[in-house]
A and B are shown apart, each in its own frame.
Chain A
């Protein structure tokens, strides 16, 4: 065994072997039991052991408290506790009981938050290691925990400095405990660098640990396991299975590595993938900048926006110079997001989930997908790529594409933050308010709002009935622009095919967006081979999305999906589309009515089919399309405020200002006025009876209006009717600020008195009565049906000098008289007496107002839209012959003549 050794060496070896043999013999000599163990020595050993065990129990508690403090997606490695929290605590308390003089400390209360508890325990440990009998290694374990605490609190640089200090203190030591401590400290250092994306620094830290890591089966400790993970992140060829290695070393698998496993194994990962939805209410707080390449450690960051036609267009681009020339081609290639099956972009947009692919994963399809999707495959495939859909509400509105030359991709937390930042980006700001939601209510809805929703639902039900839709295998869902910020919400649905089709999902939102953007209708079919459904209902095979036009763009979208393939024929779609287009104005009115009733407990009553009402609606929309200040004039209670609110509701949301404030000029303080204009979220200030504004407030308002319209809320004032220049001059003489009125009167709108638009009265009366009854009694109000003609005729022919207020007063009295029963003409007559109004039983038949004749004919027209002269004559209180004579006088023969007269009257 010692060939080549000199005699002296052989002699040393012989002596050593002799000494060792003697030692072995002595060890094995058990003839006399060990009675030489002194009790004092044994007690000292027990005391030393107690101290070590107490430290280990404390460390267990630290691990339990530290685990929830670790950041998501972090590579931070923590030892696994040796026992449950309760058991560790029990052990420690037993030690406390025995060694009260040594273990004087206070443990954190059970309800203490993890980070606070960690801090308290750390203080305990730091005090504990001051004990004279505690070993130096244990003192350094306390410093390691301090470094962990600093790191979990975000102070990574301080943590690194402390870890370096620990390493320096142990330079040269090579015993087992020091080696274990050094491995743990280095692992902490490596994981900090990996978390920060500093892969080169992490590699250097690994090198400080000595020999390079071996194959997973031979992995020793978490440092080697982390080193192998690092190798993979840097672009290593082989995917290492490290879970066992971490666990065998007594450590938890780091969350960052779990994420990579999930990305490597999509089936496993699917359970953990959650949409990165962003709450629109947080928009104000978000940073508006997009992430840069250097920030992410990426080689390409491309922000694509889904435009109103459902196509992806260039938003912002930050790519390596070598990829610059390929970006435009790449964007052209992905312009149609539903075009290419199996691509990452398509999957992200359809599934509304981030798609993360890394090269070299165990399943071969990953490399192929990456190659198909990346910017320039000829220049080399990236090692990792992320397609991150950007969502507003339930709708995907953009895509953030990122390519990486390594596999250290941003984790869940970083992706969530990226999505939030992207939503707040100016490129997407114009889309705020245009998001599509799959459910209409996020929480409990008030009874009043429930009624409003029911009314809208009923309206849609009637409209869909008019489509003559066979619904045995179909389901329809109506989406309308009624959300607070102009969002598209589902308002009604129906169809017996619902059970087979399943609940609506985000898969079909692209069709709604397409229909909203392009108008008309979109026919589409599901792809049975594609697991991510592109239908609104997962079980649907065919569908049509029909846009209902509004003043500017689409007002609503009706989705009709069917279980049967081919059940979206073009001729059907054309027919449905035409019917809905015909009723578009009804839906626009319904939307305005909905918003006013929900937000302001008001209501907009418009006969959407009447020509003058249509013109009025068009005027509202024109006024809503710009932000100029204006004044609405008319008699008191003629609907000036309602019109002001309608203008506010009809606007197309383009800013974060959404609120409407109504102020009465009477007694208005300057501070109140200025307060309304200084609020950041106020879009419209409705100032009623502006003539009553005092001089100070007029001056303040004039100063406010002189500011740019885009930096302040818009003013919609209401004022009394000014009939002539003379009265205007008189007004000026009464102390009105000329500049203020000159500014406001640049846009002047006139609202007719109720008696000038009598055909509105039956609808308005019914609406006012319903509102009153609903507030007074639960359930569906019982108004008038048996004597409807007589009641409506009576209401129609009154002059209503007090406009809607007077009408409402009479109706309330009638309803009180009816006391929950059906209102009769007798109740109405008594109501007039109660209010002190004299009933007008007939209009003057000599030289009548032509608008009244047209109005009577319009209000009494048949279901098919024909004139009912007998009924119209009854409305006027005339006999039919009188009406016939008057019709000849004014040359009205057909319904078209009536429409023309009404249209002229509105002008």
Chain B
């Protein structure tokens, strides 16, 4: 997936403030590092279901901390790394404490006609699957890509690709049904 993300020109100056709190105050208003866009890109690429705002907050904390300790980074790649770590931190926090899934997922539940808790459990179950399986599910079920095309893109057979997606579906169905709410 081609990235649409790019921070504003001269983005490093926002990271030269000194203390982490000061850096945070620089990068918070107006999101000059375009972290919201970066989060969207990396979450989609990693095929994760997480509260994007929580990811952005964690990423900001990590970036402020890192910049205060080591100074502005040499390249944008560091920002991408920190964002990916923030995504994994958020996923882990969600697995440890499903209640921390955030208002975003809770708000979706009524619209989809599904219980909030069931949806959160399903999200956790989804996030626990392997990257390959999540990508397959995401491509077929969420992005509605044709099977042959998606399988070719990920260099696997359509049957295997479909099986991976099926395994994810089974897992999230089981998670949703654990409390009987549907």
**Which A residues are closer than 8 A to B by beta carbons?**
1-2, 8-9, 11-13, 15-24, 26-30, 33-37, 39, 41-43, 45-46, 48-50, 53, 91, 94-95, 98, 175-178
CB–CB B92/A176 < 8 A: yes
Residue among A9, A15, A18, A26 with max Cβ neighbours from chain B (10 Å): A15
In the complex, whether B65 has a CB less than 8 A from a CB of chain A is yes
Set B20, B31, B52, B141: member contacting A20, Cβ < 8 A: B141
The reply to whether A12 and B21 contact each other, CB–CB distance below 8 Å, is: no
Inter-chain CA distance A178–B128, complex, in Å, is 14
Contact across chains for A43 and B24 when beta carbons are under 8 A apart: yes
Checking B29, B65, B92 against A53 with a beta-carbon cut-off of 8 angstroms, the contacting residue is: B65
Chain B residues in 8 Å Cβ range of A21: 141-142
From residue A257, how far is it (CB to closest CB) to chain B in Å?
30
Look across to chain B and name the residue whose beta carbon is closest to the beta carbon of A177.
Answer: B92
Chain A residues with CB under 8 Å of B60's CB are: 37, 42, 45-46
Convert B73-117 into 0s and 1s, putting 1 for each residue whose CB lies closer than 8 angstroms to a CB of A.
000000000000000000010011000000011001101111000
Residues in B with CB closer than 8 Å to A26 are 52, 104, 108
A37: chain B residues at CB < 8 Å are 28, 53, 56-57, 60
The 10 closest A-B pairs by CB, nearest first: A19-B112, A34-B36, A45-B61, A46-B61, A175-B95, A49-B61, A33-B31, A18-B112, A12-B182, A15-B114
For this complex, 25 residue pairs linking A to B, each with C-beta atoms less than 8 Å apart, are: A1-B166, A12-B182, A13-B173, A15-B112, A15-B114, A15-B182, A16-B119, A16-B122, A17-B141, A18-B112, A19-B109, A19-B111, A22-B108, A24-B44, A26-B104, A27-B43, A30-B40, A39-B28, A43-B21, A43-B24, A45-B61, A46-B64, A49-B62, A53-B65, A98-B20
Task: Judge whether B65 and A50 touch: CB under 8 Å.
Answer: yes
A-contact bits for B153-170, CB 8 A (1 contact / 0 none): 000000000100110010
Cα A48 to Cα B60 with chains together (Å) = 12
Question: SS class of chain A's interface: helix, strand, loop or mixed?
Answer: helix
Closest CB in chain A relative to B132 CB, distance in Å: 15
* Chain B minimum-CB-distance residue to A9: B173
- Complex contact A16–B173 (CB within 8 A): yes
Which residues of chain B from 1 to 44 have any CB-CB distance to chain A below 8 Å in the complex? 19-21, 24-25, 28-31, 34-37, 39-40, 43-44
- Evaluate whether A28 and B44 lie within 8 angstroms (CB atoms) in the complex, with A12-B176, A15-B182, A43-B24 already known: yes
Q: Which of B24, B92, B109, B176 sits near A46, CB closer than 8 Å?
A: B24
A30 to B138 Cα, complex, angstroms: 19
Nearest B residue to A34 by beta-carbon distance? B36
The minimal Cβ–Cβ distance linking B39 to chain A, given in whole angstroms, is 8
Q: How far is the CA of A49 from the CA of B62 in the complex (A)?
A: 7
Say yes or no: B169 contacts A2, CB within 8 Å. Answer: yes
Interface check B172, CB cutoff 8 A: yes
Name the contact of B57 in the complex, choosing from A23, A33, A42 (C-beta under 8 A).
A42
B: residues with CB less than 8 A from A are 19-21, 24-25, 28-31, 34-37, 39-40, 43-44, 49-50, 52-53, 56-58, 60-62, 64-65, 68-69, 92, 95-96, 104-105, 108-109, 111-114, 119, 122-123, 126, 138, 140-143, 162, 165-166, 169, 172-173, 176-177, 182
Question: Could you tell me the distance in whole angstroms from the C-beta of A167 to the nearest C-beta in chain B?
Answer: 18
- CB closest residue in chain B, given A28: B40
The answer, among B20, B112, B165, B173, for a CB contact under 8 Å with A22, is B112
**Chain B neighbourhood of A29, CB < 8 A:** 40
Dominant secondary structure of chain B at its interface with chain A: helix
**With contacts A12-B176, A35-B30 known, is A27 near B44, CB below 8 A?**
yes
Partner of B142, one of A12, A24, A48, A95: A24
CB-CB under 8 A from A20, the residues of chain B are: 49, 122-123, 126, 141-142
Residues of A within 8 A of B92 (CB): 175-177
Cβ of B30 and Cβ of A33 under 8 Å apart?
yes
Q: Complex: how many Å from CA A12 to CA B115?
A: 10
Q: Are B24 and A42 in contact (CB under 8 A)?
A: yes
Per the bound structure, the CA–CA distance linking A572 and B152 in Å amounts to 88
Instruction: Considering the complex, give the chain A residue whose CB is closest to the CB of B147.
Output: A1
Shortest distance between the CB of A175 and any CB in chain B (Å): 4
Q: Contacts A1-B169, A2-B169 known; A24 to B28 CB distance under 8 Å?
A: no
Closest to A36 in B: B53
Residues of the A chain whose Cβ atoms lie less than 8 Å from the Cβ of B49: 20, 23-24
CA distance A797 to B1 in the complex (A): 118
Complex interface: chain B residues within 8 A of A2 (CB) = 169
Contacts of B56 in A (CB 8 A): 34, 37
Chain B nearest Cβ from A16, distance in angstroms: 6
Cβ–Cβ < 8 Å partners of A11 in chain B: 182
Please, how many angstroms separate the alpha-carbon atoms of A35 and B29 in the complex?
7
List A contacts of B68 (CB < 8 A). 94, 98
Q: By the criterion CB–CB under 8 Å, are A175 and B112 in contact?
A: no
Q: Which chain A positions have C-beta within 8 A of B69?
A: 91, 94-95
Q: Please, how many angstroms separate the alpha-carbon atoms of A20 and B172 in the complex? A: 11
Q: Which residues from A are CB-within-8-Å of B65? A: 46, 49-50, 53
Give the distance to chain B from A811, nearest Cβ to Cβ, in Å: 84
CB-based nearest A residue for B55:
A27
Chain B residues closer than 8 Å to A176, beta-carbon distance: 92, 95
Contact residues in A for B162 (Cβ distance below 8 Å):
1
Q: For the complex, what is the distance from the CA of A670 to the CA of B44, rounded to whole Å? A: 98
In the complex, which residues of chain A have a beta carbon less than 8 angstroms from the beta carbon of B39? 27
CA of A46 to CA of B52, assembled, Å: 17
User: Most chain-A Cβ atoms within 10 A of its Cβ — which of B20, B21, B109, B126?
Assistant: B20
Query: Roughly how many angstroms separate A546 CA and B112 CA in the complex, as a whole number?
Result: 102
Distance between Cα atoms of A50 and B68 in the complex (Å): 11
Q: Of all chain A residues, which has the CB nearest B49?
A: A23
Instruction: Give chain A residues whose Cβ lies under 8 Å from the Cβ of B140.
Output: 1
Contacts of B21 in A (CB 8 A): 43, 46
Smallest beta-carbon distance A569→chain B, Å: 77
Q: Is the CB of B57 within 8 A of A45?
A: yes
New A-B pairs, 8, CB < 8 Å, besides A30-B40, A34-B52, A50-B65: A19-B109, A24-B49, A24-B143, A26-B52, A26-B108, A30-B36, A45-B61, A53-B65
Q: Which of B19, B96, B138 contacts A24 (CB under 8 A)?
A: B138
List the A side residues contacting B25 at CB < 8 Å. Answer: 39
A113–B5 alpha-carbon span in the complex (Å): 51
Q: How far is the CA of A11 from the CA of B118 in the complex (A)?
A: 14
Is B111 a contact partner of A27 (Cβ separation < 8 A)?
Answer: no
- Complex CA gap A484/B176 in Å reads 86
